[in-house]
Amino acid sequence: MQDEPRIAAWETRVDWPLTALTLAFLVGYAWQVLDTSLDDGARRALEIALTGIWVLMGADYLVRLALARRRWRFVRRHLLDLAILLLPMFRPLRALRVVTVINVLNRQMRGDFRGRVALYVGTAVGLVGFVAALAVLDAERNAPDASITTFGEAVWWTITTISTVGYGDRYPVTTEGRLVAATLMVCGIALLGVVTASIASWFVENVRRANEQVSEDVEEVEADVEEAQVQLAEVLAELRRISARLDALERDRHPA
């Protein structure tokens, strides 16, 4: 951000370490959710590690806030960052910590994938879908009357939700699961908008290039025509000179 050079310098230094931490968070969280054979000790160790990473992400927010020249403006511009750090403090919303992971990774991807929309969208869809499947499974698996109890069902629910199809055969019944669903719905609409805009942009770009190519071809043809006209004029001028010499020779041979 150009108006906050200290924050920009901080993010340059910590983005890659934070990215590594968030990837470690994803691995640990996926392990915790998918491996039902973990004993209490291993599960507790994973929970401590995940909480520690989440605390470091919160520290990153606090450092950026401290470095901001206009702190209230920073808070207003980063309300989502603040919400996804505060909400998981409540026990029923702990799975929403994975949204923090998406936010940090998105910060990194915006810089790396800028101008490569297809790669960015594909990566974002895969990341959001994987995280949402883990989060909804974590929230729903042990709930009474749950219809999402396996990772396969969670992935199916994620695909139907993010694509806005919504068959309704699988649906969350817990508050936390519904919050994950609401977040995923918003992401699905946004991603579909990005995909539509990307396709439209691709068509416009190709039409523009085609028009530019036609314009270049027309300019080349016009240049060739102009060059041919110049050469023709030179040939005609040379023919006139030759004709004048022939007339002069003819007069010399047959004087009046």
What are the φ and ψ backbone dihedral angles of 20, each rounded to 5 degrees? -60, -40
Choose among 165, 150, 115, 204: nearest CA to 33: 150
The 8 Å CB, 24+ separation contacts for 193-202 are 194/117, 194/121, 195/121, 198/117, 198/118, 198/121, 201/117
Percent of the chain with pLDDT over 90: 7
Helix residue ranges per DSSP H, the chain: 5-34, 40-67, 71-77, 79-86, 97-112, 117-140, 151-162, 175-253
The three-point CA angle 229-230-232 to 5° equals 65
Alpha-carbon distance of 90 to 120, in angstroms, equals: 32
What's the pTM? 0.62
What are the φ and ψ backbone dihedral angles of 35, each rounded to 5 degrees? -90, 95
Domain range annotation of the chain: 1-109
* pLDDT per residue as tens digits for the range 177-234: 888 888 888 877 777 776 677 667 767 777 787 777 777 777 788 887 888 888 888 8
Least confident range from 60-64, 90-94, 153-157, 234-238: namely 90-94
- For residue 93, what pLDDT is reported? 45
Q: What is the mean pLDDT of the chain?
A: 78
What is the band of 90 on the pLDDT scale with cuts at 50, 70, 90? very low
Non-local CB neighbours of 117 within 8 Å, separated by 6+ positions: 194, 198, 201
* pLDDT per residue as tens digits for the range 5-48: 888 888 888 877 877 887 888 888 888 888 888 888 998 998 89
- For residue 147, what pLDDT is reported? 92
